[in-house]
Structure 1
Amino acid sequence: MRYYIKRRLEERIVAALRTNPAVALLGPRQCGKSTLARKLAERLPRFLYLDLESDADLNKLGQPELFFQHNADRLICLDEIQRLPQIFPVLRSILDRQGRNGQLLLLGSASPDLINRSSESLAGRIAYLELTPFLSSEIEVETKGANKKLWLRGGYPRSFLAQNESVSFAWRENFVRTFLEKDIPQLGIRIPSTRLKRLWQMCTHFHGQILNLSKIGDSLGLSYHTIQNYIDLLEQTFIFRILRPYHTNLKKRLVKTPKLYFRDSGLWHCLAGIRGFNDLMGHPMFGASWEGLGVESILAEFPDWDGYFYRIASGTEIDLVLENGRKKVAVEFKASVAPTVGDGFWQALQELKIDEAYVVAPVPEPYSLRQNVRVLSIADFVRTFRG
């Protein structure tokens, strides 16, 4: 990387370490967890970083009780903790024995259930935070046109900061290969890499669509339940986001099947063979690409809000319904500089008693469509919604 782009999560990690014995920072491989941890080491006293992908560092934990006893007054960071799942029972006893906050920072590339395959729980001792690839609010200061580049390349730091589109695309191709051939087996999961890649490529056609497990299974010659297990795995390793349908007491025939999104737009573009912006604009799923970018950008920026989509059998639909307590916000995504919405959108706003609504589109300046309905870009939505 040419330089460090400050991550929004940095202050939340520091605050969480002050109030919890342990903090787990989870997120996909290569999203910047290690870089962020090293940055934290510059500001937090007595910070000790171990990379468990390094045999030298891994060997230091050959006698974990002795190691932690010797470093009892330090904040110990264990990077790629999924490499050492057997250490969790030891961590629990150490956290209880020392009884202070800010003892451990764990970095992992999968969900808690995949990382900690022991029966030991750190519940009540650990706070979980998720680091995503770069967000629009983090890269606005980078260069003019940064948000367009974020859309095409995705937010993985080495992809986003690559010197040109060819280097960025090659990095993503290598990421997919390494993930399938190395990262998944390291989690103790035995799935042929060729099979999982075929699933990825098949799922590019379902990006932003209702998830049809039977259709995917038929195409790959695999059972419904096998496909479900594979989809769950890719959700737990931060590759897919599964957006659940919004449930309401209205007497409507609601769509009850979830939608699937690739969380990083750059990875989806790579698997779909989209190398440049001209390729993207001419692609039949151009609109789905924008929608996926918007859904992920918003849900990653505002993790305290629950996200759903709303659709009934007649076609009335809202792309994203955000809910926090009793407040409901509707978001529609349109890949157009002159967006319009259909009657179904206005009908859905009334049905759900939406408090405020937005149409998120690649427009240069925000403007009002109707009262309480604004048209604005992803970056402007984030600024507006954060207040």
Structure 2
Amino acid sequence: MIKRNLEAEIKKRISQSPAVAILGPRQAGKTTLAKNLASDDGQYVYLDMENPADQARLADAYAYLSQYEDSLVIIDEIQLMPSLFSILRPLIDANRKPGRFVLLGSASPLLVRGVSESLAGRISYRELTPVGITELENEFNHREHWFKGGFPEALLAVDDENSKAWLNDFIRSYVERDLAMLFGVALSPVTLRNFWSMLAHSNGNLLNAEVFARSLGVSATTVMKYLDFLEGGYMVRRLQPWFVNAKKRLVKSPKTYIRDTGILHRLLNIPSFDALLGHPVAGSSWEGYVVEQIYQTKPAHLDLFFYRTQAGAECDLVLVDGIRPVVCIEIKLSNVPSVSRGFLSCIDDLQPDRSYIVVPEGESYPTAHNITVIGLRELLSTLI
């Protein structure tokens, strides 16, 4: 079993807060993590809001949950029953002892809205992503993790064919059933699948909703709605541009990435790692992979952006503390990269504390421009 980086922190929060919410995509390991932590501390009750029997138990939710003041109650897929939030508030107020509820959710907007409306000041929440490279043993080949992605069932499958079959089934289920159910809306599976595939082909590029709308035969408003749902279900990342300097002519459209590279490669039907290296999307796939690994390991006070000006200054990733850029990162698939003029212009504009070119592997070394070329694992350990 893979030990998750969040285990210690979530266990600490359970010991301090009456309710803890663990958010993240389906099949990322939220239920396994919650049950493992709960079993370490004693008895727990598990309720799954996709299970009709568990829904029936909560017909009178206040009376049912009141029985378990001395047990940890895990409620899975709680966004499917948002009325529970208003019921949990008086239960917690009547007995604010730590470790009463662990709430698991796969749709961030609904869950966060429920928290803000009903449980403000009563709950602590964290996002559990698919498995990151820092959660794997050093001997684990980063190429395999990059190609298969971080969902445990795909990553730990007995062979590549089983991994690809699981990812195909996940994508199909997500398109045909899960996304509409998570958000309680009617969606067109064909349009959603086509849009998701188009996002995969433009992975790491600037978002242009009008282009997608014309290709799909829908409105730009519909495109943005579908993008919101995919982002809210933790499938897509919108990386916003950094623009504080009003004197520069800056690009202000976000970039989009498929967050899990295993899903990205299935949407693009890339059959093997060797085929990936020869595919036009290889560079942007590596870029998205690095962005996601940095997101998983960065300190909480740092936010992620990219930087691009009309004059040609460009940086794949800017780590910002408040309003101050502290780290600029260029992401290269080559282990012997050159420093681009656009990256040098970016450093000159932003004046970060540190600048890196991230490569797949190898020992770090400085360049003539005070930029450090560094392997991904070493960079992540530096950030941690």
- Which residue number in structure 2 is paired with residue 224 of structure 1? 220
- Which residue number in structure 2 is paired with residue 175 of structure 1? 170
Following the alignment from structure 2 to structure 1, what is the Cα–Cα distance between the partners of residues 211 and 111? 27
Partner amino acid for 2:321? N
1:63 paired to 2:60 = yes
Of residues 297, 307, 314 in structure 2, which corresponds to 1:301? 297
- Which residue number in structure 1 is paired with residue 351 of structure 2? 353
- Which residue number in structure 2 is paired with residue 317 of structure 1? 314
The C-alpha deviation readout for 1:341-362, integer Å capped at 9, x for no partner, is 2112112101101110111111
Taking the TM superposition and a 5 Å limit, the aligned residue runs for 1:1-387 are: 4-113=1-110, 120-141=117-138, 143-145=139-141, 147-187=142-182, 188-249=184-245, 251-302=247-298, 303-325=300-322, 326=324, 328-370=326-368, 372-386=370-384
Following the alignment from structure 1 to structure 2, what is the Cα–Cα distance between the partners of residues 354 and 223? 40
330-339 vs 294-303, which moves further: 294-303
Partner amino acid for 2:374? L
Partner amino acid for 1:194? V
Partner amino acid for 1:344? G
Contact 1:85 1:116 in 2 (8 A): no
Following the alignment from structure 2 to structure 1, what is the Cα–Cα distance between the partners of residues 113 and 4? 26
Contact 2:361 2:377 in 1 (8 A): no
Q: What value does the CA root-mean-square deviation take over the aligned residues?
A: 1.7
Contact 1:329 1:357 in 2 (8 A): yes
Following the alignment from structure 2 to structure 1, what is the Cα–Cα distance between the partners of residues 123 and 114? 16
The Cα of 1:114 is off from its aligned counterpart by 5.5
Equivalent pairs, count:
381
Contact 1:180 1:197 in 2 (8 A): yes
Following the alignment from structure 1 to structure 2, what is the Cα–Cα distance between the partners of residues 98 and 117? 20
Following the alignment from structure 1 to structure 2, what is the Cα–Cα distance between the partners of residues 13 and 118? 17
Contact 2:79 2:110 in 1 (8 A): no
Partner amino acid for 2:3? K
Q: 1:40 to 1:158 in 2, by over 3 A?
A: same
Following the alignment from structure 1 to structure 2, what is the Cα–Cα distance between the partners of residues 248 and 185? 37
The C-alpha deviation readout for 1:198-239, integer Å capped at 9, x for no partner, is 110111122100001100001001111111111111111100
* Structure 2 residues without counterparts, runs of 5 or longer: none
Following the alignment from structure 2 to structure 1, what is the Cα–Cα distance between the partners of residues 107 and 383? 29
Contact 1:317 1:348 in 2 (8 A): yes
Partner amino acid for 2:275? D
Following the alignment from structure 2 to structure 1, what is the Cα–Cα distance between the partners of residues 168 and 31? 21
Following the alignment from structure 1 to structure 2, what is the Cα–Cα distance between the partners of residues 250 and 5? 46
The Cα of 1:39 is off from its aligned counterpart by 1.1
Following the alignment from structure 1 to structure 2, what is the Cα–Cα distance between the partners of residues 114 and 74? 23
Contact 1:47 1:75 in 2 (8 A): yes
Contact 1:329 1:354 in 2 (8 A): yes
Partner amino acid for 2:169? N
288-297 vs 113-122, which moves further: 113-122
Partner amino acid for 2:309? I
Partner amino acid for 1:322? L
Q: Secondary structure at the match of 1:39?
A: helix
Calculate percent identity across the aligned residue pairs: 41
Partner amino acid for 1:203? L
TM-score by length of 2: 0.95
Contact 1:360 1:375 in 2 (8 A): yes
Following the alignment from structure 2 to structure 1, what is the Cα–Cα distance between the partners of residues 69 and 104? 19
Following the alignment from structure 2 to structure 1, what is the Cα–Cα distance between the partners of residues 116 and 329? 41
Contact 2:78 2:111 in 1 (8 A): no
Following the alignment from structure 1 to structure 2, what is the Cα–Cα distance between the partners of residues 128 and 304? 16
TM-score by length of 1: 0.94
